[in-house]
Amino acid sequence: MERILVIMGSAALGTLFFFWFSHSLKKKASVRQFVESHLWLMHPNAICYWRTGLAFLGFFLYFFSPYQSLAIFIFTFAAILDGVDGVVARGCNMVSRLGEWLDPMCDKLTYLPPLVGFAYTPNSITGLPILSPKLIWILVVIELVGQFFARRMLTWLKVSGAANNFGKIKAIICFALVILCALMDASPGMLNIGNGVLGACIVLSAASMIFKFVPNRLYADILSMLNFMCGVSSLILTYHHSYVWAICVIIMGQLFDLFDGRMALKHGGTKYGPWLDDIADFVSFGLAPAYMLIIRGGTFALFFAVIYLVGVAYRLVRFVTKDKGCTDLPAGIFNGFPSPAGALVVLGASLVYGHMLLWFFTAIATALMVSNIRFAHLGRVILKQTPKPIFFLISATTIVLLAYILKTKNIHMFGYLILTSVLFYLAAGRIWAQKTNATDTSGSPFG
């Protein structure tokens, strides 16, 4: 209990400090003047050095002294400073090429030493380390290759080596994994999901490195293709009755779909991009959930699966042929429930409910998709207006929860988590749609 209180208190104080500093830097000229007059302390690169030093101090206190609670507090504050240096760099126009290299390097020096420590420190009761040494060294190798070899090549190619979203989410998860390991170290009876979370860090680290070499205009098409591959994989897994894994790859496909549109708007794309996106969406959010419904839905499953497929197809066709050219539809607002959210309704219900309730939820999802009720886009509106630290924290928490669910094999918890997330989007999507509609110059009423 003491360890939990220390972690919660450290996280709360660090988060309050981050939001206070971010707000003060934007609103108070005195804070900006203090930063600019104390660059030895407050320059973004200086903050990187300070937080790395704090992280090393926390490492030695945790593994080589009895002051583990103090070590957790110091490490948590060092991790929070990772967000502060970016706020100062952007807020005071101090972005530099050195900073682009130094920031991820200091991230690695902050979380890799304690992760290695937990891989080689046996638990006092089980006698086993919390993390797999093999997985740790795989992560270390990928991180070092990305930091030195890949970034040197990017410099030679005159391409920015700044961290992308894969790298940022990976860093947050690694910070969280260190704290999680500290909690498991003090609670030997706690379920160990460390290696599952570590596996996600390895995947994200590799993706962060690879995507730096991809031409920007190909980002959207690659993400759409990955979404399509997730849909096909889900169909195969469902055929082999691996339902949880089938749903997991659909969730991965939704993450790819979430960003492909943003990448297309930001970097452009190819002429085949829109077609590839629609095909991928129909496979991942139409065919895959429909097939899951047929397998698990009982007597009338085929009927409801066909209705659902027609609804998804209508939703996608209407968006391409009508909604894109609709002048009274504000940017980032959809007509009808998005097909990825509809897919989650069907998939979540298939895990926790019987046949009749599954049919009912499928019918509700289909009706919402073909309706004219407006919803805000999750990526372009809701997440765009969500502070980045909160977004990355939500992403890290989701991965940790998925690792726990896969470790415990609690199918019902997985289903309820999916349905809860859809319910959250249902409310948030409507609220943001109403806000966007109210501020839009067209002032068009909802259909």
Could you tell me which residue, 401 or 31, shows the higher pLDDT?
31
- Spatial separation of the C-alpha atoms in residues 338 and 426, rounded to whole Å: 10
Whether residue 160 is predicted with pLDDT greater than 90 in this model: the reply is no
Question: Tokens 């969500």 belong to which residue?
Answer: 386
CA geometry: angle 299, 304, 309, nearest 5 deg: 140
- What is the 8-class DSSP label of residue 240? T
The more confidently predicted of residues 47 and 407 is 47
> What pLDDT, in 10s, does the model give residues 23-52?
899 888 888 889 989 888 899 999 999 999
In this predicted structure, what is the pLDDT of residue 441? Answer: 46
**Which distant-in-sequence residues (6+ apart) come within 8 Å of 70 by Cβ?**
61
Rg (CA), the chain: 23
User: What are the pLDDT digits (tens) for 336-394?
Assistant: 999 999 999 999 999 999 999 999 999 999 999 999 999 988 877 887 777 666 766 67
Contacts of 63 (CB under 8 A, 6+ apart): 114, 117, 121
pLDDT band at 218 (very low <50, low <70, confident <90, very high): confident
Mean pLDDT confidence for 403-427: 87
Rounded alpha-carbon distances, angstroms, from residue 113 to 106, 202, 221, 227, 306: 11, 16, 37, 35, 53
The average pLDDT across 135-153 equals: 87
- Of 220, 227, 222, the C-alpha closest to 339 is 227
pTM of the complete model: 0.70
Q: With 70 as the cut, is the pLDDT of residue 227 above it?
A: yes
Give the lowest-confidence range in 30-39, 116-125, 295-304, 400-409. Answer: 400-409
Cα separation of 253 and 256, whole Å? 5
Asked whether residue 161 carries a pLDDT value surpassing 60, the answer given is no
As a whole number, mean pLDDT of residues 123-151 equals: 86
- The first and second tokens of residue 410, run together, are 């609690």
pLDDT number for residue 445? 40
Give CA–CA dist 178/132, Å, rounded: 14
The pLDDT mean for the chain works out to 85
Nearest to 185 by CA among 113, 131, 111, 112: 131
Beta strands in 283-378 (DSSP E): 333-335, 374-376
- How are the residues of the chain apportioned to helix, strand and coil, as percentages rounded to the nearest 5? 80, 0, 20
Q: Identify residue 383 by its one-letter amino acid code.
A: L
Residues 245 and 409: their CA atoms lie apart, in Å, by: 11
- The mean per-residue pLDDT over the stretch 119-138 comes to 87
Residue type, 167: G
Say what the pLDDT of residue 107 is.
Answer: 93
Q: Which of 42-46, 236-240, 293-297, 404-408 has the lowest mean pLDDT?
A: 404-408
Reported as a pLDDT band with limits 50, 70 and 90, residue 314 is very high
Going by their DSSP bridges, the two strands 374-376 and 333-335 should be labelled as antiparallel
Tens digits of per-residue pLDDT, 255-265?
888 777 767 76
Q: If DSSP states are collapsed to H, E and C, what string results for 381-435?
A: HHCCCCCHHHHHHHHHHHHHHHHHHHHHCCHHHHHHHHHHHHHHHHHHHHHHHHH
Phi-psi region of 52 (alpha: psi -120 to 50; beta: other; left: phi over 0): alpha
| pLDDT confidence tier of residue 447, bands split at 50, 70 and 90 | very low
167 contacts 208 by C-beta, under 8 angstroms: yes
**420 burial level (CB within 10 Å; 0-12, 13-18, 19+):** exposed
- The CA distances from residue 183 to 4, 69, 240, 400, in Å, are 7, 11, 37, 14
**Stretch among 16-25, 182-191, 203-212, 427-436 having the lowest mean pLDDT:** 182-191
Percent of the chain with pLDDT over 70: 90
* Nearest Cα residue to 232 out of 310, 272, 286, 296: 286
